[in-house]
A and B are shown apart, each in its own frame.
Chain A
Amino acid sequence: DAGVTQSPTHLIKTRGQQVTLRCSPKSGHDTVSWYQQALGQGPQFIFQYYEEEERQRGNFPDRFSGHQFPNYSSELNVNALLLGDSALYLCASTQRAGAKNTEAFFGQGTRLTVV
């Protein structure tokens, strides 16, 4: 049973460019959440997708956008990259219709470096 998979694992982009990160949730999960984790910090919530729609959003600018596909996989897009966007981007999957105490499973993350 595959867990949460993210691609790519590492990425280097130039300031001003655009980037797309991908996530496949754990089998049986239908909800995907994205987090940004700066070095030495805890993960910060970006947004959550369920039924192909953005359901919740954290305090991130519109440069951060996403998409969820019918197979529950998800993409995170960041436009006009800034140096401050350099971070580990984590994807977490949960089962929306599950019990109240459903566990979030995390992927290994994508390390984005903006130069």
Chain B
Amino acid sequence: DAGVIQSPRHEVTEMGQEVTLRCKPISGHDYLFWYRQTMMRGLELLIYFNNNVPIDDSGMPEDRFSAKMPNASFSTLKIQPSEPRDSAVYFCASSPGQKNTEAFFGQGTRLTVV
């Protein structure tokens, strides 16, 4: 398997624009996670899915953020409208669940909002 695949790797956008980050988890993994990494807050969980169903979105900062998982092989994280304080690295990770709790991370998307 190619691992967790995220796109794009880098994104620069202007304030107010819509941004969509994409993730393809490892095939067969039941759990998908979106994390955000910033200097100030470190790595924080935004939302996670189990079998395509959102389980906990309490980490989503505000209504401008939304995440979907229309099928087992694809998820998106959307920010609309984007703001400079959304600048961060966004990671997607997946896990098989059950007895193996190891999470496998994508390479992240560095988002810069100017």
* Chain B binds chain A: no
The residues of B with any CB-CB pair to A shorter than 8 Å are none
